[in-house]
Structure 1
Amino acid sequence: MRGEISIFRPVEAYAEAGSSRTHGVVAAISFCVFVGTIVFGFAPVTRKIETSGYSTADLQEATTRTEVDTILQAFEPVMDSVALLSALDYLFIVAGFFLFFSIHSLVMERLSFDDRLVLVPKLGMVLTVCSRLLDALENLWVILIYTNPDSYPNALISLMNTTQSAKWLVVAVEYPTLGLAIILALLVRCTSLFDGKTSRM
C-alpha cells in the first residue's frame, strides 16, 4: 500500500494543484501546441529531411555503425533541419506531457468517487511520465550521434535502439489507457445525467 501511495503521490499532487478550469485551459493550450507542432513543424521539416533519401526514423532504426554513418552523410545538406526537428521533438514532448496530465486530472476528478476506477487515469499519468522520459532520452542519443559523426561511441546506437523500442512499448499502453480514462469519465457523466433526469421524474 505504501508503494502504491508513493508512486501516485506526484500525479495526485499535480491533479490537486489546479481547478478543473485550470486543467481545462492547460489541456486546450497544450492540444493546440501538440497538434500545431505536428502539422506546422514535423510535417514540413520531415519532408525537407527526406529529400536526402532518409528520414530521422531511418536513423533511429539503424542498428550498425555503417548504416548510421551512411545516413549521417546523406543528412549533411539538411543537418539544420535535423537539428530543428530535434528541438521540435522536445516541444512536442512537453506539450504532450501537459496535455495528457491535464486530461487525466480532469478524469480523476470525475472518477474520484471510486478508488478502483480512479486508478486508470493515475496509471495513465505514470505511463505518460515514462513515455516522455524515454522519448527525451531517445532524442538525446540521436543528437549526440549526429553532432559527433566522427567520434560517437557505438554504445549510443544500442542505447538509441533500446530506448526507442521501450518507448513504443509504453506508448502502446499509454494511449489506450488515455482512451479508456476518457470513456469512463464520459460514461460516468452520462449516467449522472440520466440519474438526474430520472430523479426529477
Structure 2
Amino acid sequence: MQRLGALFRPVERYANTLSTKTHSAVAAVSFFTFVGVIALGFAPVTRRIETSGYSTADLQAATTRTEVDTILRAFEPVMESVILLSVLDYVFIVAGFFLFFSLHSLSLKTLAGHDRLALAPKIGMWLTVLSRLLDSLENFWVILIYTNPDDYATVLITLMNRSEALKWAVVNVEYPMLGIAIALALLTRFTSLFDGRSETRQ
C-alpha cells in the first residue's frame, strides 16, 4: 500500500496544486486545441498525404523494409505534409495530455475523501502518461525513418510497430477509465447535493 501511495503521490500533487477554476480553464483550452488539431489539422493534411496512395497509418502498419520503402517513395511529393502531420501529432499529444489530466484532476478533487473511488482518476492519469509517451515514441520512430529513407535502421520498423500496438492497448483502457472517473465524480456530486438538500429540509 505504501508503494501504491508513493506511485499516486505525484498525480495527487498535480491535482491539488492547481485550483478547480484553473483545471477547468486548462481543460477548456486543451479541448478546443484537441478538437481543432483534428478538424483543422489532421483532416486536411491527411487528405493531401493520401493523394500519394498511402497514409501515415499505412506506414505505421508496415512490417517489412520493402513495404516501408514503397510507402516512402510514394510520400516524396507530399513529404512536407508528412512532416507537418508529425508536428501536429505532437501538438495533439500535448493537448490530450493536459485535457485528460485536467479532467482527472477535477474528478479527483470531487472524489476527495472517497479513497477507493479516487483510484479511478489516479490510475487514469498514469494511463494518460503511458499512452502519450508511447504515442510520442511511435511518432519519433516514424520521423527517424522518413528523414533518412535511404539508410534508416531496420529495427526502427519493429520499434514503430511495437510502440503503436502498446499505445492502442493502453488507449483502449485509458478512455473508458476517464469515462468512469467522470461518472463517479458526477454521481458523488449529485449524491452530496441531494443529501445536503435533505438535511436542510429536516
**Class of the TM-score when normalised by the shorter of the 2 chains:** over 0.9
SS of corresponding position for 1:37:
helix
How many angstroms does 1:196 deviate by? 2.1
Letter in 1 for 2:55: S
* Counterpart position of 2:72: 72
* 2: CA distance, partners of 1:158 / 1:117: 38
Q: Which amino acid letter does the alignment assign opposite residue 11 of structure 2?
A: V
- Which residue in 2 is equivalent to 1:90? 90
User: Structure 1 residue 197: deviation in Å?
Assistant: 2.2
In structure 1, the partner of 2:32 is 32
Q: How does 1:90-169 map to 2 (within 5 A)?
A: 90-169=90-169
* Overall identity of the aligned pairs, in %: 68
Unaligned runs of 5+ in 1: none
Normalized against structure 2, the TM-score is what?
Answer: 0.98
Aligned partners of 2:164, 2:6: CA distance in 1, in Å?
A: 27
Give the structure 1 partner of residue 47 of structure 2.
Answer: 47
- C-alpha displacement at 1:59, in angstroms? 0.2
Q: Deviations over 1:31-71 (max 9, x none)?
A: 01011000000000001000000000000000000000000
Relative to the length of structure 1, the TM-score reads: 0.98
Give the partner amino acid of 1:63. T
Deviations for 1:57-116, whole angstroms, at most 9, x for unmatched residues?
A: 000000000000000000000000000000000000000000000100000010011111
Kindly state the Cα deviation for residue 2 of structure 1 after the two structures are TM-superposed.
Answer: 2.5
Equivalenced residue count is 201
Secondary structure of the 2:63 match is: coil
Computed over aligned residues only, the root mean square deviation of the Cα atoms, in angstroms, reads 0.7
The structure 1 segments of at least 4 consecutive aligned residues displaced by more than 3 Å after TM superposition are none
